[in-house]
A and B are shown apart, each in its own frame.
Chain A
């Protein structure tokens, strides 16, 4: 039963990702990562023995903990990458706001000097 649920989640997530990319709600580079995660879910759901084989090869005595550890590690890396990207966007956004403000200041000065020229 658990295998079916996990596989369904994987396939469902993959379907949603494809839909989001199709509707331009998700950039294809982000979608790629999530498709891989969804594929991982589906594979583990449909073939749970895969985890047992990998765990045995890695010397892990309790296979489910390997799946959980990998999932947590992937999530942590993903969140960290998101924060790095957010920091970059924040900096770019801040510099654009600064630039707009400087240009507005120059525009105001020009308008002021033009108005003063007209009154003379």
Chain B
């Protein structure tokens, strides 16, 4: 594994926060929080999406600040809560990652680098190798309908600067259900620079994907996402999406 960080290796740690939305991830979230804290020394905020297990207690015991949602908002709703919190607390950069152990704390500095160096407003940790056949088909359809030329449009491992946090904390992003096409098109529409950064990822440790585990849910998700991609794309008044950044 490359670029392994030590606790003090992330420069400017006080202005950066790691946001981890979690729903019934008691089995993994503690380890994920501990890994992030030990490898980066960054503040960690877990957004609990109304879990029914002891995710809150485990995350708090591991040293995270927990935002307990009183009702389930879904993955993006929880993520937006974290972004609003980051904005409220004055953080300059927010890193988002999954609670299931797929995203490696050791690679956080890789996605932070382009944002810190002002080469991009948003960096996406891309790992196209993780894609199952179903996920690859979904990627192709999403990219062709939305016009986005990014490698891994569904990755939740991202770094946002304050401008991007502000754009995503607003009302327009509230009605989105997922963090993929809608979020990326909104960022692109705001004129923000988005960059893919190839990173290593693991298979999830516990549980299953909220979307890619049932054909019925995938079909519904794809219909919504493709419609969103098509409608938002046409509204980009001539801004044919080119490869950002």
Contact = CB atoms under 8 A, between A and B. Distances in A.
Q: Answer yes or no: do A and B interact.
A: yes
Interface of A: 87, 90-91, 94-95, 97-102, 104-105, 108-109
Contacts of B77: 94, 97-98
Interface of B, helix, strand, loop or mixed by DSSP: mixed
A90 B77 CA distance: 11
B85 interface: yes
A90 B171 CA distance: 11
Given A105-B65, A105-B66, A105-B68, A97 B85 contact: no
A109 B68 CA distance: 12
Contacts of B73: 94, 97-98
Interface in B32-47: 45, 47
B171 A101 contact: no
A97 B171 contact: no
Contacts of A95: 171, 174
Given A94-B175, A100-B70, A105-B67, 4 more contacts: A91-B171, A98-B81, A101-B67, A108-B66
- Using C-beta atoms within 8 Å of the partner chain, give the interface range for chain B: 10 to 19
Contacts of A97: 69-71, 73, 77
Nearest to A87: B175
Nearest to A90: B175
B175 A101 contact: no
A102 B87 CA distance: 11
B71 A105 contact: no
B80 interface: yes
Nearest to A95: B174
A64 to B, nearest CB: 36
Nearest to B74: A94
Most buried by B among A87, A90, A101: A101
Contacts of A99: 84
A94 B171 CA distance: 10
Contacts of A108: 66, 68
A57 to B, nearest CB: 38
Contact of B84 (A91, A98, A104, A109): A98
Contacts of A94: 73, 77, 174-175
A105 B171 contact: no
A96 to B, nearest CB: 10
